Structure 1
Amino acid sequence: MSAEIICVGTEMLLGDILNSNAQFIAQQLAQLGIPHYYQTVVGDNPERLKQVIEIAISRAQILIFTGGLGPTPDDLTCETIADFFNVPLVERLEIIEDITQKFTQRGRVMTPSNRKQALIPQGAEILPNPIGTAPGIIWQPRPQVTIFTFPGVPSEMHRMWEETAVPFLKSQGWGKEIIYSRSLKFWGIGESALAEKVAPYFNLPNPTVAPYAGKGEVRLRISAKAASETAAEALISPIEKQIKEIAGLNYYGADHDTLASVVGQLLRTSKETLSVAESCTGGGLGQMLTEISGSSDYFWGGVISYDNSVKVGLLGVNPEDLDQFGAVSATVAEQMAVGVKTRLATTWGLSITGIAGPNGGTDTKPVGLVYIGLAGPKDEVASFEYRFGIMRGRTLIRHVSASTALDLLRRQLLTRKYN
């Protein structure tokens, strides 16, 4: 038995609204151990919605709808579902009373259009909405077919799912097994390179291993199906350990870890401090660091040295080196790192200078060329050259540059070796 998620609303097809409901329901289904293989987004059109239902009931036994339960003419989910199964809509007095009471509590009078929300397919059970006016339904129109409908408002849908849908599904025998996942995160290795190293793990039946990539980061999701989270973790743990050993320093964290949070913890543990000097990233590196609560324990501040006069005046970069080598160069990156470390009196100084594009590149210094400087506690200093490529685009080049800088510091904090 499997579930299918059907999200109704033209606004999602147009991209006006992010479909967060599908993500929430998918995560909840995994916690209940209910597999689901398909998600569909369909506009507010009865005929297309019927086509979606026809396909869904041929491959899933639980159909979960969100959206289309409001009082306006384009809210057609319930009546379309009823029409598909050739069942009449009936007005439920208890729904009208609930909507009337909620309007009264808000100092308003229920409009005639809201009576539409009291019409549900004959034989369906009401799925109460504790905070909104649009109730859902739980309905089994055919053997082996169970339908849930929810409003599209996420806060309402979440409450209705947790308070009514989950208990119902558990009463039907679901929830005895869960699907539990751990996401391992990697930086400094491409998806294909990592996939080759861990290829044998992709054929495991339980737990399963799957790769994902985006914005320079690679992830491996390890998912196990078991009777409890503890039992699932016992299945995941040995696989996780083996993959970490294979990946070495390219592995940096799991689940909610970020490069900034991992670096922060390493700095806090070693009682060391950090300052940053940024050019092409324009404060992006500092933003990543300060997104972590408590980062003031180890991050003391930074300088956005976008103009060369700031590099010279605040960071002490040699103007002759700027003239000879240019702002985007190894020597300037090193001087920026030393300069910010010295000015702010921190253990570490980290710098970024580069060409984020789309303009400003040359044959010798193309868009995507970035230098990262790192100055350490014993007056060590080093620079690292990267060519991220023009095709990545300005925003991504800046993001990858800041992330790579954090990764360089992470590796140094772990190994204490400049390499």
Structure 2
Amino acid sequence: MSAEIICVGTELLLGDILNSNAQFLAQQLAQLGIPHYYQTVVGDNPERLKQVIEIAISRAQILIFTGGLGPTPDDLTCEAIADFFGVPLVERADIIEDITRKYALRDRLMTPSNRKQALIPQGAEILPNPTGTAPGIIWQPRPELTIFTFPGVSSEMYRMWQETTVPFLKSQGWGKEIIYSRMLKFWGIAESALAEKVSSYLNLPNPTVAPYAAKGEVRLRVSASSASQAAAQELISPVEKQLKDIAGLDYYGADDDTLASVVGELLRSAGETLSVAESCTGGGLGQMLTEISGSSEYFWGGVISYDNSVKVGLLGVNPEDLAKFGAVSATVAEQMAIGVRSRLATTWGLSITGVAGPGGGTDTKPVGLVYIGLAGANGEVESFEYRFGAVRGRSLIRHVSACTALDNLRRKLLSSVLNKNV
């Protein structure tokens, strides 16, 4: 028993709209333990839509459509489905009544085009839409085949799924097992290097372990299939511990954790504070930190020292060092960290200076060269050099720089904790 997700809409093919509906449905199917192996996006064309249906019914027993249920001529989902199975569309008076009522609540009259939304394949049941005007359908045109249709509006689809579809699926005996996952997150190690370290875990049957990489971060998804979330967690727990032990400090958190939230919790636990000085990241580091609720307990502020005059005037960077080593240098990164820590009177000062590109690079200081400075209350200061490469592009270089700065502080804070416990 498997499901297939079919998203209808030319705007999806053109990239005008992000296909978040497919992501939501995939996650929901996993939670119900219903496998799905294919997702299809098709434009607003009845012939191509029928071709998609023909392929889908050969490999799945549940077809889930989103989009194409509106009142305009290009909304063709129900029409194409009915035509494929050779049944007529029938107008449902109860749907017209529901649409009329919803328009009246908005002090509007139902337009003639909305009657199209009351046409559903003969024999199909209505999948109620509590908020929008386009209902979906639940239909079993053949034994062992169930079709669901949803509007493309995400908020409407989410509610229809939770309130009607999930109970229906469970009533049919689907969803007896659930798939529960933990997403382990790592920074400072390449996907290939981590995959090599944990290679013996990548072929486990249950739980399964799969590596992912995006924007400098590496993840291991650990998924277990079981009768309940608690039972799945029991399967995952020992594997998760072993993976963390193998990764060591490269592991930083799981699921909703971010580098900023993990660093924030370490600072909060230690009763310590942080300030930042940024050049090439232009405030991105401060933004990451302040996205965490309650970050004012440990993050006191920062300086965006984009111009050298700010580095000198506000952060106390030595102008002679600027002239000798340049703004993108270990010396300047260290002085920026010392300066912001001193000016804002925090435990830690963290700085970033680099060449984000696409212009500004030289043979000795290419695009992607970044220095991170870290100054502590005991007078210790250190810097770290990274060469992220021009191929990453300006936005990604800035993002990876800010995350790497947080990761350096995370490792320093963890080392301090370990030293105190020795």
TM-score category, normalised to shorter length: over 0.9
**Residue range with higher mean Cα deviation, 21-30 or 239-248:** 21-30
Deviation, 1:31, is 1.1
Looking at structure 2, the residues matched to 318 and 129 of structure 1 have their Cα atoms a distance apart, in angstroms, of 65
1:164 aligns with 2:175: no
User: For 2:21, what is the secondary structure of its paired residue?
Assistant: helix
Deviation, 1:377, is 1.7
Which structure 2 segments of 5+ residues have no match?
A: 418-422
Q: Within 5 Å, which residues of 2 pair with 1:2-81?
A: 2-81=2-81
Deviation, 1:193, is 0.2
Looking at structure 2, the residues matched to 285 and 102 of structure 1 have their Cα atoms a distance apart, in angstroms, of 46
Partner of 1:304: 304
Looking at structure 2, the residues matched to 130 and 362 of structure 1 have their Cα atoms a distance apart, in angstroms, of 60
Deviation, 1:109, is 1.2
User: For 2:206, what is the secondary structure of its paired residue?
Assistant: coil
User: For 2:218, what is the secondary structure of its paired residue?
Assistant: strand
Looking at structure 2, the residues matched to 295 and 330 of structure 1 have their Cα atoms a distance apart, in angstroms, of 28
Partner of 1:117: 117
Moved over 6 A (4+): none
Partner of 1:386: 386
Deviation, 1:416, is 2.8
Q: Within 5 Å, which residues of 2 pair with 1:184-199?
A: 184-199=184-199
Partner of 1:337: 337
What is the CA deviation profile of residues 343-399 of structure 1, one whole-angstrom value per residue up to 9, with x for unaligned ones?
Answer: 000000000010001111111111110000000120000011000001011100000
Partner of 1:293: 293
2:81 partner letter: I
Looking at structure 2, the residues matched to 344 and 102 of structure 1 have their Cα atoms a distance apart, in angstroms, of 56
What is the CA deviation profile of residues 46-89 of structure 1, one whole-angstrom value per residue up to 9, with x for unaligned ones?
Answer: 00000100110000000000000011110000010000000111
Q: Within 5 Å, which residues of 2 pair with 1:19-418?
A: 19-416=19-416
Deviation, 1:115, is 0.8
2:159 partner letter: R
Looking at structure 2, the residues matched to 287 and 108 of structure 1 have their Cα atoms a distance apart, in angstroms, of 43
1:397 partner letter: I
User: For 2:366, what is the secondary structure of its paired residue?
Assistant: coil
2:116 partner letter: K
- What is the root-mean-square deviation of aligned Cα atoms in Å? 1.0
User: For 1:107, what is the secondary structure of its paired residue?
Assistant: coil
What is the CA deviation profile of residues 201-237 of structure 1, one whole-angstrom value per residue up to 9, with x for unaligned ones?
Answer: 1100000000000110000000000111100000000
Looking at structure 1, the residues matched to 205 and 104 of structure 2 have their Cα atoms a distance apart, in angstroms, of 55
Looking at structure 1, the residues matched to 307 and 109 of structure 2 have their Cα atoms a distance apart, in angstroms, of 61
1:236 partner letter: I
Deviation, 1:176, is 1.4
User: For 1:164, what is the secondary structure of its paired residue?
Assistant: helix
Deviation, 1:101, is 1.1
1:218 partner letter: V
Q: TM-score, normalised by structure 1?
A: 0.99
1:52 partner letter: V
Deviation, 1:107, is 1.1
2:303 partner letter: V
Deviation, 1:113, is 0.9
Looking at structure 1, the residues matched to 261 and 141 of structure 2 have their Cα atoms a distance apart, in angstroms, of 50
Deviation, 1:111, is 1.2
User: For 1:203, what is the secondary structure of its paired residue?
Assistant: coil
Looking at structure 2, the residues matched to 323 and 112 of structure 1 have their Cα atoms a distance apart, in angstroms, of 73
Which structure 1 segments of 5+ residues have no match?
A: none
User: For 2:90, what is the secondary structure of its paired residue?
Assistant: strand
Looking at structure 2, the residues matched to 98 and 310 of structure 1 have their Cα atoms a distance apart, in angstroms, of 63
1:380 partner letter: E
User: For 2:256, what is the secondary structure of its paired residue?
Assistant: coil
